Structure 1
Amino acid sequence: MVSTAAVPNLAFRQLRGQRSAGEFAAVVRRAAREIGEQVACDARYIGRVESGEIRCPNYAYERVFLHMFPGATLADLGFSARESVRGRGARVLHHDRPLPHHDDPLLHREPFPHRDTETDDIPEESDVLRRVFMTSGTTTVAAASLGLGGGPAFAAQVSLPAQRRVGEAEVNAVEKAVRQIRLLDDRHGADGLYRRAAQPLRAAYELLDAGTTARRATSDRLHAGAGELAISVGWLAHDSGRFDDARSHYAEALATARLAGDASLEAHAFCNTSFLARDAGRPREAVRAAEAGQRAARTLGSPRLLALLALREAGGRAGLGDRTGCDRAIGRARAAFDRGAAAGDPEWMSFFREAELELLEAQCWSALGDWSRAARHGRRATALQDAHFTRNLALYRAQLTGDLARAGRADEAAATGHQVLDLLTRVQSSRIRGMLAGAARVLEPRAGAAPVASFLTRHRESPPGRPGDRPGP
């Protein structure tokens, strides 16, 4: 809500000129890309600036605005001095461990020690994450039910006392929400979960906004939990085709990681950002994000994490048509994977087994147009996959269906496509449906063959995704 003391920013409004708020937001996003920044600017954000609700932009926006208007200062743009905006004044964060230096070109920010408040690098534009619901007195934070079909598979309530001190119970609730979302995604896919998962995400960031914790260790866990929750919700958006939402959630997780100096969370955020960039057709960004993730992960003692990040890089290089670079990245990934599991492996990597490695390599060869090689790895992935991961069973077989179809093995593709349709009665994923639809289009010229005709008929008659879902990549 805009404060009654808010003063409209007439200087900024004048700079917009005759463009609509939405058109000007697009200009801001384009300028951000020019300098390697990532902001989710929209018409609402422009409106908040012009109304005076945002009196000073965060550091990411500051760099973008100063790039757009060379020679201008924040004051020239109608903003207030940063130190006058923060209600509790600038407060330097002291860390009891060294903070990594970040030089990645994808999301370049100033080295962390120069950030002078707790909230400076949390993007102000995020509708989902940065709403502040805290009021005086006791506040109840309720995480939404995440069950499918109305069943309450997850619910958690925590109460914040008047002093707003966050403790073990609240942090445990955030961590439980992360695990529950991942479990339900493994079983059912993203489409039915995304909107409901936003509620515990709001609660987690509300806890961060509340301020104080009893111990540094508790604060670290809360930041890590909130960041991991943002990534989990971002993945649900990603898998259900909501790429802009996913990008915003991943960026929020990255900002949280850097605020807390959490290299593990940073590596995870970059890992997912790379994956999203590949799926969104931005292979160069996928490579750069994967490389940044590998830099963050070097000291974490997890060869498997480095293997996954190398595969993310390989996927980006495949999208660029860089067969040699892709092959080298795959080689690094396999060498790291073969070093085995380690104590430093993050909890979220439970999905990354040999089957996933084979699937990601299959996707690389598929992107490079080597359909037969892709299909060989796809068969291995489906043979190795644990039946517990229902969504991944459908994903792997959808990938294999497309590769077989493009490799000219139409009957085998049709048989595999039937298996995917069987699983889609239990799994809701626009991404998987999109992959299967692509395979069906490839098979259309072979519709005269009985096995193919049977699959195509069943595919056309299968129920569509949830209303409002976008097709997968």
Structure 2
Amino acid sequence: MDRQRNAILEVLLDEYDYTHRSLADEVNQVAETIFGRRGDCSDRHVRRWISGEVRWPWTRYLLPLERIFERPPEAIGFIPRGAASANLPRPPEPEHQEEDPMRRRRFITASAATTVTAVLGIDQTPARGRLSMSDVGRVHERIGRLDAHFFAIGGGPLVGVATGYIDRLRTALDGCTYGDRVERALHGAISSLYATAGWACHDSGDPGQAALLHTASLQSALLAGDASATARAWSNLALQARLEGRHREAVQITRAALDNRRARQNPHIAALLHARLAIGQARTTDRTGAARSLLAAEQAYDRADTTAAPTWLEFLTPAELSGLAAIAHQALGHYERAEQSTVQALALLPDPMRRSRAYYAVQLAELQTARGEHERAAETVARIDASTLDSRRISDRLATVRRTLTAQEPRP
């Protein structure tokens, strides 16, 4: 019979980040838990399985492989020699034997899970077993849903959710087995969660904690060796410096992020960094530099049509770029242009981004108030629906605008 390569097993090795040698070692370790003695599998056995030279391995190898990949031999790409061979003999289970962690993963269940945690499903994270790139994919999917939740309601309730998820992923890093690629990807996921938690702290009015979280995000990004995550962390640290009034430092940090060639070559990242650099330059009265950076942001975003955005940058739409440009124009004292850009941002914003809509609506009211357009500002404020948001940052700014408008009302 013609030899047929076991492509399924090849894919599983890649997904679970195994080499031939590391899979053989894993088979031997699991064999010891099943049969009471360590196995004799070698990388040569694995090569023969993949090449199709051996289409149905011996039971002492098949049973460990079943547990490692959590599927029957046929689903690993093996072909039985006959009907009898498919019925694998099972070793007797000792009385009261504790369930082997390689056979069934234990899951962490939060003792007091919040509604958000339950809805997003992030309270189920493997604590034992072999982690694969599929597991990492599920982690990133949940992080994406967590970020979408932030843009919908603000960051108030999400600080504990994000930091709780970080704790669970760290437990997985300590208790599970995985390859180098999975390890780096998990550090990248943790960096992303730190960034989300940092933004949530900004929304909750806790800048000190936000700074710590953004620094931790940078550390995890460096461990991941991920240029995109590193650029995100630097960008957030620059924003932190700007919010604390350290505008020259914010410019220096953003320029350092742009010095990374891989970050510059990603048009989405470059667009965000140039837009934030423009704001920093505007705050340091570098008018020429701010104008150049705004143009560079537009040019970078024009190139972005042909490339996919990193998940964390899905918020960077033409609306967001218009909103960032408005902040730069406001810092330069160009209130009319700032108002026009803010109106454009509100017109372009997708409906699900309720937090961004409230943020830029407050920004529009602030600009109208600064220009003495109190009636228009009052109309803008009346249209703001912040009842479903949990963002102290937005609510405080909205309250300030309302107090200003109230003070301008004629007294009877």
TM-score (norm 2): 0.69
2:202 to 238, 241, 250: 238
1:176 and 2:141 aligned: yes
Q: Is the 8 A contact 2:163 2:193 kept in 1?
A: no
Q: Partner of 1:351: helix, strand, or coil?
A: coil
Alpha-carbon distance in structure 2 between the residues aligned to 1:165 and 1:180: 24
Please say if 1:154 is aligned against 2:121: yes
Matched, 1:416 2:384: no
Per-residue CA deviation, residues 333-360 of structure 1 (Å, 9 max, x unaligned), is 1121122334352111111111101101
Give the 3-state SS of the residue equivalent to 1:159 in structure 2. coil
Structure 2 residues not aligned, in runs of 5+ = 1-100
Whether contact under 8 Å (1:160, 1:166) holds in the other structure is: no
Structure 1's 352 and 159: CA in aligned 2 closer, same or farther, altered over 3 A?
closer
SS in 1 for 2:108: strand
* Aligned residue identity for 2:123: A
1:379, 1:400 within 8 Å by CA — same for their partners in 2? yes
Deviation at 1:273, TM superposition (A): 1.5
Q: Which residue of 1 aligns with 2:12?
A: none
Q: Distance in 2 between matches of 1:361 and 1:271?
A: 16
Q: Distance in 2 between matches of 1:265 and 1:398?
A: 30
| Equivalent residue pairs, number | 309
Query: Is the aligned partner of 1:431 residue 2:396?
Result: no
Instruction: Say if 1:297 and 1:345 are closer, same or farther in 2 by CA, change over 3 A.
Output: farther
| Shift of residue 212, structure 1, vs aligned partner | 4.2
* Alpha-carbon displacement from aligned partner over 1:295-341 (angstroms, at most 9, x marks no partner): 23545642121011011111112222322222221111112112233
Equivalent positions of 1:362-381 (< 5 A) are: 362-381=326-345
1:224 pairs, out of 175, 179, 188, with: 188
Write the deviation string for residues 266-296 of structure 1: whole angstroms up to 9, x where unpaired.
0111111122222222212211221122223
The structure with more radius of gyration? 2
Preserved CA contact (<8 Å) 1:146 1:155 = no
Aligned counterparts, 1:250-261, within 5 A: 250-261=214-225
> How is 1:119-198 mapped onto 2 (pairs within 5 angstroms)?
140-142=107-109, 145=113, 147=115, 152-161=119-128, 165-168=130-133, 170-198=135-163
Aligned to 2:250: 286
The structural deviation recorded for 1:397 is: 0.4
Which residue identity does 1:166 align to in structure 2?
L
Give aligned-pair identity as a percent. Answer: 30
Deviation at 1:434, TM superposition (A): 2.2
TM-score normalised per structure 1: 0.60
2:321 to 340, 354, 357: 357
Matched ranges for 1:254-403 at <5 A? 254-296=218-260, 298=262, 301-343=265-307, 345-403=309-367
| 3-state SS of paired residue (2:394) | helix
Confirm or deny: 8 A CA contact 1:188 1:428 kept in the other structure.
yes
Query: Aligned with 1:304: secondary structure?
Result: helix
Q: Which letter maps to 1:244?
A: G
- Match for residue 173 of structure 2? 208
The answer as to whether partners of 1:397 and 1:416 remain within 8 angstroms in 2 is yes
The alpha-carbon distance between structure 1 residues 324 and 339, as it changes in their structure 2 partners (threshold 3 A), is: same
- Pair 1:446-2:408 in alignment: yes
Query: For residues 253 and 192 of structure 1, what CA distance do their matches in structure 2 show?
Result: 20
Cα deviation, 1:366-395, whole Å, max 9, x if unaligned, reads: 223322221111111111111111111111
RMSD, aligned α-carbons: 2.6
SS of the counterpart of 2:304? Answer: coil
Residue type matched to 2:124 in 1? Answer: Q
The change in CA–CA distance for 1:216 and 1:356 in structure 2 (over 3 A counts) is same
Give the counterpart letter for 1:186 in structure 2.
Answer: F
User: Are the counterparts in 2 of residues 271 and 289 from structure 1 also a CA contact under 8 Å?
Assistant: yes
Structure 1 residues 381-424: Cα deviation after superposition (integer angstroms, max 9, x where no partner) = 1111111111111111011110111011111111111122xx21
Contact 1:401–1:416 under 8 Å retained in 2: yes
